[in-house]
């Protein structure tokens, strides 16, 4: 079952700003970790922005959907 990660539009703006300023995605993820965001969530959010920017697809505004991890 897929999971929906919800986040604030302010986080969306911050991620987008940093990526457009040339910050490496890994640096953005690390900054999110430093603010106590779970690593998997931070990576999923940043990856969604990177994908949207590379492909011209719509940018996330307040959520991303991720596949549930298999155990």
Structural domain includes residue 12: yes
Give me the number of domains the chain comprises.
1
User: 8: domain range?
Assistant: 3-66
Predicted TM-score (pTM) of this structure? 0.90
**Neighbouring C-beta atoms of residue 56, cutoff 10 Å:** 7
List of residues 6+ apart from 41 with CB closer than 8 A: 5, 32
pLDDT tens across 2-58, in order?
889 999 999 999 999 999 999 999 999 999 999 999 999 999 999 999 999 999 999
Structural domain includes residue 71: no
Structural domain includes residue 17: yes
Structural domain includes residue 48: yes
Structural domain includes residue 16: yes
pLDDT at 68 over 80: no
pLDDT at residue 67, as a whole number:
83
């Amino acid at each position: 079952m897929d999971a929906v990660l919800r986040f604030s539009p302010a986080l969306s703006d911050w991620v987008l700003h940093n990526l457009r300023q040339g910050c490496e995605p890994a640096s953005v993820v690390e900054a999110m970790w430093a603010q106590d965001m779970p690593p998997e969530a931070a990576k999923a959010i940043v990856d969604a922005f990177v994908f949207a920017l590379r492909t011209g697809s719509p940018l996330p505004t307040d959520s991303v959907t991720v596949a549930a991890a298999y155990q």
